């Protein structure tokens, strides 16, 4: 199992365990973590699964693909560590991953 820590904008933390293979978004939604809406169900077309990846983990989450980049570019609260959590695949390498949610999902 892979452990992921989700931190709400308020600072409330949620520790979940998930199997490799799914996305970070699915790990959040299937464990009832608030703050990730995922309106498009993971199709990379809504940007309501926006997270900020802890800097320590950023390299291990992989490259931003062109569709994800296009969606993130529409976000007013984008940061250099912004990712769409539906585009981050959970691997054993991400055991201990920490992500924070923005105040709002648009």
Question: Given the rule CB under 6 A, which residues bind ligand FES?
Answer: 25, 38-40, 42-49, 71, 84, 86
Dmax over CA atoms of the chain, in Å, equals 34
Q: How far is the CB of 3 from ligand FES (least distance, A)?
A: 21
- The angle subtended at Cα 63 by Cα 32 and Cα 35, nearest 5°, is 20
CB of 37 to ligand FES, least distance (A): 8
Rounded Cα–Cα distance for residues 89 and 24 (Å): 6
> Minimal distance in Å, beta carbon 68 to ligand FES?
8
Nearer to ligand FES, 11 or 66 (CB): 66
């Amino acid at each position: 199992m892979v452990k992921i820590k989700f931190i709400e904008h308020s600072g409330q933390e949620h520790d979940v365990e998930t199997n490799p293979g799914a996305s970070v978004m699915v790990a959040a939604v299937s464990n009832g973590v608030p703050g990730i809406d995922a309106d498009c169900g993971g199709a990379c077309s809504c940007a309501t699964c926006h997270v900020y990846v802890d800097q320590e983990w950023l390299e291990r989450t992989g490259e931003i693909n062109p569709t994800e980049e296009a969606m993130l570019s529409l976000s007013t609260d984008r940061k250099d560590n912004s990712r769409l959590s539906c585009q981050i695949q959970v691997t054993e390498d991400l055991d201990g991953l920490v992500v924070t949610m923005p105040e709002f999902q648009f």
